[in-house]
Structure 1
Amino acid sequence: MQQYTFNKYFAKKSFLKIFGGEIRIFDENKTNLLFFVKQKAFKLKEDITVYADETKSKELLKIKARSMIDFSAIYDVVDVSSNESIGSLRRKGFKSILKDSWEILDAKDQVIGSIDEDSMLKAMLRRFLTNLIPQTFFITVNKNQVGVLKQTFNPFVPQFNIDFSADTAKILDRRMGIAIVILLQIIEGRQE
């Protein structure tokens, strides 16, 4: 489980993949590929598999939507090797129209945290004027900020620098952190 020991990551989504997108998550130096996702196009219900590399020989996580095309969808995160439910992520539908907002749920569907876009003003500017303002997401669990995702300035390729605070590893399971990064790139990336 070496992939989950890092505090900093770099995530990059492929540009213009017609038949499904690809996401690669590297270490902070952008040298070692740690996670790979090949998303299938034209799916009504998200079913995402996270692999250890591009050969897709080792599955690590599954991220599955509970229902088809749901504005406030819930996505369950499961560790493939143990079949353990890690928790879920729920998009706050109407609240996310103006500013992206998610809830982090534990394995018993209890809200333990949130994922929020940086500011209402910047969110409105991104949605209605330009996509040239990079997004920042703050991850909070039990009122502790446990991570920050900062989009790099690149209007063509969605990329994020991810920082999970070193001393909060016990508060947020890194597997859930990786699922958050992937869902934000897939679901919120559709707005661009």
Structure 2
Amino acid sequence: MTSSSLQYLPRFFVKQRLTMMVNRYEIVEANPDGSPGRMLAVAQQKRMAMKEQVTFYADDTKTLPLFGFKARRMMDVAAAYDVTAADGTVLGSFQKDFAASLLRSSFHLNAPGLDAYGQERNSLIAVARRLVDFPFSFHFDFTDKATGATVLTSERQFSLRDRYTVDVPDQRVDFRLAASVAVGLDALLQR
């Protein structure tokens, strides 16, 4: 896959791989029957980095960067992350809504022609996640602020390893932005 060969994808999966020093993720296309298809990208995030940055590569060799996201500032409670293509083109951004996230994790999502807001779907699980260290299934829904229509959902499957099904019903959401948000939610909520 090249950075420009895939702009929209209605459904894909995110799977986290367990490693010692980095968070690694595989982004896999969903086949029409719902089964996993081809691998689209591999993402890597260094743990305990001062400034969050995740780069998505074409494969495990990590020789061809495709896209990524990076925090605008270090150690920011309402951190904003810019999502860029490999050539530096800005694809969009997402930002934690710090006040709303105290009880229910919430994020703003922006892209050309799109202004959306996302929250954990279940407020009871949101509170329980903060109190108990247990691999809860949790889901995020992002909706267009103007219309209320769903633009992106990320659903964590119940398992010890983090696995997500990401649905993108809105074609304005670039695949690279959707993948960045899905991985970002996992990486940022692990704290």
TM-score w.r.t. length of structure 2? 0.86
Letter of the structure 1 residue corresponding to residue 26 of structure 2: R
Per mean C-alpha deviation after superposition, the further-off stretch among 110-119 and 38-47 is: 110-119
Indicate the residue corresponding to 2:188 in structure 1. Answer: 187
Indicate the residue corresponding to 2:162 in structure 1. Answer: 158
Structure 1 residues 80 and 53: CA distance shift in structure 2, 3 A: same
Indicate the residue corresponding to 1:133 in structure 2. Answer: 136
Distance 2:187 2:6 in 1: 20
Letter of the structure 1 residue corresponding to residue 109 of structure 2: I
State whether residues 27 and 39 of structure 2, in contact with CA within 8 Å, keep that contact through their aligned partners in structure 1: yes
Structure 1 residues 56 and 132: CA distance shift in structure 2, 3 A: closer
Give unmatched runs, 5+ long, in structure 2. none
Letter of the structure 1 residue corresponding to residue 129 of structure 2: R
- The Cα of 1:121 is off from its aligned counterpart by 1.5
Distance 1:174 1:146 in 2: 12
Which has the higher relative contact order, 1 or 2, with Cα contacts under 8 A spaced 6 or more apart? Answer: 2
- The Cα of 1:57 is off from its aligned counterpart by 2.0
Letter of the structure 1 residue corresponding to residue 55 of structure 2: T
Give the number of the structure whose residues are more often helix, by fraction.
1
Give the alignment's Cα RMSD to 1 decimal.
Answer: 2.0
State whether residues 117 and 123 of structure 1, in contact with CA within 8 Å, keep that contact through their aligned partners in structure 2: yes
Indicate the residue corresponding to 2:177 in structure 1. Answer: 176
Give unmatched runs, 5+ long, in structure 1. none
1:29-72 CA distance string (max 9 Å, x none) = 22311111121233110122111211212211121111111110
Distance 1:61 1:131 in 2: 31
Structure 1 residues 38 and 97: CA distance shift in structure 2, 3 A: same
Alignment partner of 1:175: what SS? helix
Matched, 1:96 2:63: no
